[in-house]
A and B are shown apart, each in its own frame.
Chain A
Amino acid sequence: MNLRDRLEQIESLKKKVQQISNNRNQKNTFSKKSNNKSSVSEIVPGNTIETPHGNCFYAERIITPDTSFGENSLSDIQRYFTPGLHLWLPQFNRRGEEFKLEEMLFFDTETTGLAGGSGTYIFLLGLGFFRGEEFHIRQYFMSDYHEEEALLWGVNQLFGQGFKILVTYNGKSYDFPLLQTRYIMTRQPFHLNTSHHLDLLFPTRRLWKRRLQDCTLQNIEKEVLKIRRNGDIPGYLIPQVYFRYLLDKDARPLKPVFAHNQQDIISLVLLATRIGQVLEDPLEMVKSALDLCSIGKIFEGHRDFQYSSKCYEEALKCDLSDEEAVETLRLCAFAYKKQLKWDKAEAAWRDIISLSRDFSPYPYEELAKYYEHQKKDYGQAESIVEEALHRLNRENISGSVKTEWRKDLDHRLARIKRKKQREGFSCSEG
């Protein structure tokens, strides 16, 4: 078949591809009309650097210490970082090293898609770092695909400047692997020392998921940092804006993308500060009972049961629904148990019984175990289990669960009775 025929065939195929890309094209109807285009350097201040791979542009903004963001200021981080955040940098802490603010690198990317994989490019890479009192934000930008190597080279120069802690939001599973991919794709070495990567998503989830559920950076900004973004571009539109720029080279629509990325980096600093602040003195800083429970759980994870029970006690002082109170008491009782504060634990379990609307064998079992194993008071243990069985029989619970619970309780009761009997014998013998 000659080339013309082949072309015909391809032509017939166009229809099909058209259908496939229709949805996509609806999103990116390119308007190529505008004549007065702007270049990137016209819309954001910055510099062009020369690299062995060609030129590369970066935007730069310097933020002075007196600049405030809502109730927050960037310089607060110095005060709060060490005490609170070291919980998430265990290796750092263990070596007893002290970190310097200048060694932290805040990092966020804007990409050509969210799917990941080697066809996703980083077209804007924002980095934030402290120089003395000032905070610098540098945003490396590739104005076309061929500038990627220059961008990565430029970024590498910065990476080589002794940064020790990388701070990101979801960077462990997204930005960082993507960056590694890009260096492999362009066959360049990768100069970032990554032994300390603080991905704020993890502490954020631990601290606020219980209360907020939605832990996207945008929601955390709104709910925790109380920051409002004005005229922010939604993340899912960003690839389309960039693709459009590639075709018409008009940088104006990119301005909100640069602003978006800048705000992300500022939020990283503010969020890191807030996390440090909250963990340094939760009892003072935190008013929400759910947050206090979350913090209690964090300390529990670090086996500081004394502190975690304090958090729960504080939470219990808040105005709680019965359900929330039961949940908090449960956490609290566990912390008491771990500290062998049996009296307090017993009180908590009893409170749970009186507050619970629905039956659960849990507090009865805990009490029974306590009387059986700690106090060796088999009579008490017996009557607790009997009370549980009595209540279980009255409850309206689905069959299989009920059977399961009853089996466990019966089993426990039988054992306690055996022990009681044996004790009776040994008493009478004695």
Chain B
Amino acid sequence: MKCDVKSIIQELEQDYTIRPYLTALEYLPAQEAKLADYPGWLKPELINRLKEDGITRLYSHQVSALNAIQEGQNAVVVTPTASGKTLCYNLPVLNRVIREPESRAIYLFPTKALAQDQLRELYRLVEALDKSIGTHTYDGDTPVSARSAIRNQGNIIVTNPDMLHTGILPHHTKWHRLFQNLKYIVIDEIHIYRGVFGSHMANVLRRLKRICEFYGSKPQFICCSATIANPQELAERITGEKFTLINNNGAPSGEKYFLFYNPPVINRELGIRKSLIKETSRLVSKFLNHDIQTIVFARSRLATELLTSYLKDYFEKLGQDRDLVRGYRGGYLPNLRREIEKGLKEGHIKGVVSTNALELGVDIGQLDACFIAGYPGTITSTWQQAGRAGRRSHSSVAILVASSIPLDQYIINSPDYFFKETPESAVIDPDNLSILISHIKCAAFELPFIPEEKFGTEELEEILQFLEDKGILHFSRNKWHWMSDAYPADEISLRSASPDNFTIIDVEEGMDKVIGEVDRESVHTTIFEGAIYIHEGEQYTITKLDYDDYKAYAKKVEVNYYTDAQVESDIKVMDVFNLHEEENVYHQHGEIAITTLSTMYKKVKFYTHENLGYGKINLPAEDMHTTAYWLILAETFPQLVGGKIAPGAAFDLAGGLLALSNVLVNVAPLFVMCDPNDIKAVAQVRSPFTDLPTLFIYDNYPGGVGFSEKIFELRSKILAAARNLIENCGCDEGCPSCVGPINQVGKQGKQSALFILKEAIR
């Protein structure tokens, strides 16, 4: 019984098992297309080619982009999913190649899969042009035999930042024809390059520009971004160039509904809600039952697999084909993924459950309904995912289902934040010393440095001298040369915050069976010897930790407890960059040195949280220099000593600070657009530096990447959001959805945190 989206929404609103838990129902009206004529300078063969596809005129934003690029400006195009942004770069590039056949362009995509997808689209355009325009992907999968031809003849090289970093730039002499004739650098999905990845990317582009200069070319940049608060700033920071912002979206869209659903609470005291997976699957099956093509986004691989199998079971029970629903994630082989993409486009696959692998531009056509099982972490991603549903001619729906973690609970209960606020801004710090120095090494390998040169920071010469002292560079007649037999790009990964991740190996499955990876900072808390490590719902115990080889060995166990490491963090403030004083609290931002040491762990029983015993942890202390924001409770702070916050309730300083730090690390990523793991919090009842109660939130990356600076800037908003979250949580004394469980923060933790916030926001 096929029905349209509107009537199923009505059905949901009348369903008493659903209606009370809908926290938002937004209606986004349809938008007419705004069209414009092809610019006069565009080659007729290109226009004719597009007309064959039925494109008689372009959207207004496409024409704006084309004209800006034609005038020689760098352009960043910001428009929603499926608004024809690829034409914004394909047309200028192809037009140039037709005019000047020696012209070259580099396309950068964040993943190999996206590169492949875009290449297919490009082929389709180029094929019918009947011109010899070489378009190739160049990545780890490119056969060695094809590489030399691609280097010499490819007009358009489609690749990713990692390949540029390790494979192309250090071998630029083999690519001299590319670099001599490079006219355009296209960076799609530029909003992905934020935080550590973005800071690396900015440095890779500094190296790229240095090499272009050597070969006498000055390429133009064309970037595309999802909706973020600062696309132009981000493009300018990443490329070091001035940009024109193109955001006059002229693509049409059908009307759309956006629903928020918060699964019902089943244990109020502990704040436990009905399972995200089961609730999502229940709702999705209603849509599938009405023959509405649906995409479901899950946050993890495991959740994807679970949802897929629940929905397959559902169809089987109805006596229908299990393959009406398919799973989709990064680990699937390319052929299988192509098959699923095709099935979705052609409509014989009714439902697909995916990780964020389908969030970026892979072409699957437009679907009717989109479920987002768990807040993806940013407003930007949420809109991207929701954009997967949306027909031009009729209505579509997106539904966000919340999990019980604080971030989800905050969003689901603050629909205004989501619908009214500007999305996050992407933060990068290309001059992070640790990242910078890595890329200066790579750059020196690529071309010797001369003293007057600039590489982002002003103190380049000092860093070069430093590397000379270390015997890595050698100064000879006014140039610093690479003096090492190593290949520096191999030592730097653009994607992981810390270069040395620990791998976890299942000893019973043999040496090759790596079940997971943990960054260095988390070793102390997750994979010490004796730790219970949970992977895809299975429990493992760490039998051995090889600290020198970055390996942990694990074996499967079934126990009724989990382990909780007692971490002692010692924070030394090295420098204060900025401060703001209020009546009862001080806000500061600066550089800190943090020493983390764990010496013992607790075994905690599931559900009852009884303490079952202790174990020792023998690990060296970890030191890190980074940047931090910190909140200080001033001497004048009321109730600091023995005060009361309510009749019979004492102010609990330690519990309150801990509760508050739990909330802040969850809420702050919303505003600075980072991963929850990118920042960490430490609360000190009496900080040796300030001599006062202090709560630190620091960048979990050596040198800092700029998150804490942003937190300092946006502190009022972040603290208000934290207060909002705590106040709106239905629990009495704290739960995992707000300040953390009672047994961690204490009976007065929640109220004390709220008390601190009231003083801080005043």
Contacts and interface: CB of A to CB of B under 8 A. Distances in A.
B463 interface: yes
Interface stretch (A80-88, A154-162, A177-185, A317-325): A177-185
Given A16-B434, A20-B491, A243-B483, A119 B173 contact: no
A9 to B, nearest CB: 6
Interface string B562-596: 00000000000011010000000000000101000
Contacts of B593: 12
A172 to B, nearest CB: 12
Contacts of B170: 117-119
A13 B481 contact: no
A1 B479 contact: no
A25 B471 contact: yes
B482 A119 contact: yes
A118 B487 contact: no
Interface string A112-139: 1111111101000000000000000000
27 contacts: A8-B575, A9-B703, A10-B463, A12-B625, A13-B434, A14-B466, A17-B437, A18-B470, A20-B491, A21-B470, A24-B486, A30-B471, A112-B483, A112-B484, A113-B484, A113-B486, A115-B485, A118-B172, A118-B445, A119-B170, A119-B487, A121-B481, A144-B476, A144-B477, A145-B481, A180-B173, A246-B474
A239 interface: yes
B282 interface: no
A357 interface: no
Contacts of B447: 118, 185
Interface in B236-289: none
A6 B437 CA distance: 13
A243 B625 CA distance: 32
B479 A28 contact: no
B176 interface: yes
How many interface residues does chain A have, given as a range? Answer: 35 or more
B425 to A, nearest CB: 22
A243 B434 contact: no
Given A1-B575, A14-B466, A115 B477 contact: no
B470 A9 contact: no
A115 B448 contact: no
A3 B459 contact: yes
Nearest to B490: A115
Contacts of B444: 119
Contacts of B147: none
Interface residues of B, number: 45
A146 B593 CA distance: 41
Contacts of B575: 1, 5, 8
Contacts of B478: 146
B446 interface: yes
Contact of A13 (B174, B437, B477, B577): B437
A6 B433 CA distance: 9
Chain B binding surface SS class: mixed
Interface string B425-442: 000000001100100000
A240 interface: yes
Contacts of A24: 471, 484, 486
A145 B477 CA distance: 8
Interface string A13-49: 1101110110011001010000000000000000000
B485 A1 contact: no
Contacts of A5: 575
B702 interface: yes
Given A21-B470, A116-B171, A13 B433 contact: yes
A274 to B, nearest CB: 30
Nearest to A112: B485
Given A7-B462, A12-B625, A17-B470, A184 B171 contact: no
Nearest to A7: B462
A181 B483 contact: no
A240 B172 contact: no
A243 B476 CA distance: 13
Contacts of A8: 574-575
A145 B171 contact: no
A84 to B, nearest CB: 29
A21 B487 CA distance: 13
Most buried by B among A25, A117, A185: A117
Contact of B471 (A119, A177, A243): A243
Nearest to B481: A145
B709 to A, nearest CB: 12
A12 B486 CA distance: 24
B472 interface: yes
B173 A9 contact: no
A9 B433 contact: yes
B577 A119 contact: no
A116 B625 CA distance: 34
Interface string B481-507: 111111110110000000000000000
A247 interface: yes
Given A13-B434, A113-B486, A243-B483, A146 B174 contact: no
A258 B232 CA distance: 56
A10 B171 contact: no
B465 to A, nearest CB: 10
B445 A247 contact: no
A124 to B, nearest CB: 15
Contacts of B174: 177, 181
B173 A16 contact: no
A16 B435 CA distance: 12
Given A28-B471, A30-B471, A118-B446, 11 more contacts: A9-B625, A10-B459, A21-B471, A112-B482, A117-B170, A118-B172, A118-B445, A119-B482, A144-B477, A240-B485, A247-B474
A119 B491 CA distance: 15
Given A5-B575, A9-B433, A119-B444, A185 B485 contact: no
A295 to B, nearest CB: 27
A118 B171 contact: yes
Given A21-B472, A112-B485, A240-B485, A184 B173 contact: yes
Contacts of B491: 20
B246 to A, nearest CB: 35
